[in-house]
Amino acid sequence: MTPSHRTYTLHYPLAELRKGGRIRRLRLEHFREESGALVCAEGESFAYSLPSSTTDIFCADNRLFAYVQSSQTGKFMDTGVSYPSGGSMHNLVALVEAEGTTRFFAIGNSYLNYFANTANSIVTFSPTPSTTALALHHERLFGAVGTRVYYTKPLDFRGWEEYGEHDAGYFDLLPGAGTVVDIFSMRDRVFFLRRYGITRLTGYCDIYNFRQEEMPFGMGEVLSRAAVIGEYAYFFTRKGLCRFDGTSVEHVEDASDEEISLLHEIRMGALECMHAAASVTLSDGAEAIYIYDPVSKRGRFIRRSYDACAFGLYIYTKRGSSAYRLTGKALPSSGSCRLLTEFTFADLGEGEKRLEAVYLAGRGNFSVTAAGEEDSVTLSVPAGEWTRFPVAVRGENVTLTVSTSQSTASLKELDLRVRREDRI
């Protein structure tokens, strides 16, 4: 028998690297994209000294709001104005009206407070919605208690007691999909994200035009609120990260969400109105911040320790009595940034596949581990040089882990040299 072989050089620009084709799995751990390259993810910049006994933080646009448990108050950190809350706080919602006015609402166990002005006066709604979100749609404010939806009269956000058939009031959702988890306005509709489904409301000023429809779902239990990015809503279910386009729901196949534990609380939000962001727990028990970019179609993880986090124009984290804004570049506490990619070489034809060498375009020094069906090899790889593995890594599927302990390192391209060998 005469051995026959062929060598392939595979090129992967890192800006275009995503799940699909030869890439079966992709995970960015403390890497982020910048100018077409992968660079070290965000570090911390001190933002505020928080009041003592602050237990949670919330973000509205670029404003940080601290909940102070001992006094049961909420405080805007930029202005120093405090508001009495009346109990534990679940969420702060900022709603922007058509003319640009931003209104702030605090939601807790037994209250919904509207912060009426820059002083510390409040308006308390009754009955209180149990949901952790509100929606402003066609000049009405919508909230929910269980499966009952309350709405205000147009342009009057002081309450939703029943004034009349064309003013404030309520209606009931069909009970099949469970209680309301979140409410959001998108594509000129109001959507009620429920425990096991989504209800769409078409509602204009005249309540006789209100019409509700149940959307096809099939994603199991809903585990988080929704983050609206453009004309899509993102949220977590038992299937992982899901995307809703106004009519149908699908699991985001390129989300890289396999390591996220769905047994722990997930706090979801929109980052810069461009990315879906979440505070998650990984399968190893560690906490992390997860960000999904709909443009690059990739998810990534920021490894930072925190007691609480909030998303708006920035990511804020709380640790002890300090609040930090994530910015710049800095290594995580684990000490390294990692890129994990699982390749399949099945499309290269029949025969044994061997990964022989790797090339990293960019700047810095890296550690590369290649694991095949039987072999696992680790070596140091400087950027800009082809580096051969001392022993070729065999396998139809190979997992490559690239890591660096340099905060200044960057990766622009990953190239592989694969040998296919058979016998004729």
What does 4-53 look like in DSSP terms, one character per residue? EEEEEEEEEEGGG--SBTTEEEEEEESEEEETTEEEE--EEEEEEEPPTT
CB-CB contact of 334 with 303 (8 Å)? yes
What is the distance between the alpha carbons of residues 66 and 318, in angstroms, rounded to a whole number?
10
- Secondary structure (3-state) at 312: coil
How far from 344 is each of 6, 23, 124, 351, 391, CA to CA, in Å? 17, 6, 58, 13, 19
Q: Could you give the CA distance from residue 115 to residue 134 in angstroms, rounded to a whole number?
A: 14
- The predicted model gives 98-107 an average pLDDT of 75
User: 321 burial class (0-12, 13-18, 19+ CB within 10 angstroms)?
Assistant: middle
In angstroms, the CA 128 to CA 130 distance is: 6
More confident residue, 321 or 374: 321
Residue type, 200: R
Tokens of 381: 């790889």
Domain annotation for the chain: domains and CATH numbers? 3-40+337-423 (2.60.120), 43-327 (2.130.10.10)
Q: Are 168 and 159 in contact (CB under 8 A)?
A: yes
- The confidence band for 153, taking pLDDT boundaries of 50, 70 and 90, is confident
pLDDT of 129 > 80? The answer is no
- Separation between Cα atoms, residue 320 and residue 307, nearest integer Å: 7
Q: Lowest-confidence range among 64-68, 83-87, 144-148, 400-404?
A: 83-87
Q: Identify the pLDDT of residue 32.
A: 94
Confidence of residue 267 (pLDDT cuts 50, 70, 90): very high
How far is it, in rounded angstroms, from Cα 220 to Cα 259?
Answer: 19
pLDDT mean over 188-199:
95
Phi first, then psi, for residue 394 (nearest 5°) are: -95, 145
Q: What three-state secondary structure class fits 347?
A: helix
In this model, does residue 203 exceed pLDDT 80?
no
Q: Strand, coil or helix: what is 279?
A: strand
Of the listed ranges 17-31, 86-100, 116-130, 224-238, the least confidently predicted one is: 116-130
Per-residue confidence band for 91, with pLDDT thresholds at 50, 70 and 90? confident
Torsion, Cα 419 25 313 135, to 10 degrees, reads 150
Which amino acid, residue 360? L
pLDDT for residue 2: 52
User: Can you give the pLDDT at residue 116?
Assistant: 62
Point out the least confidently predicted range of 140-154, 208-222, 291-305, 366-380: 140-154
Q: Rounded CA gap, 32 and 7, in Å?
A: 32
* Backbone angle region of 187, left / alpha / beta, with phi > 0 → left and psi within -120 to 50 → alpha: left
Which residue's entry shows tokens 């016998």? Answer: 423
**pLDDT at residue 170, rounded to an integer:** 86
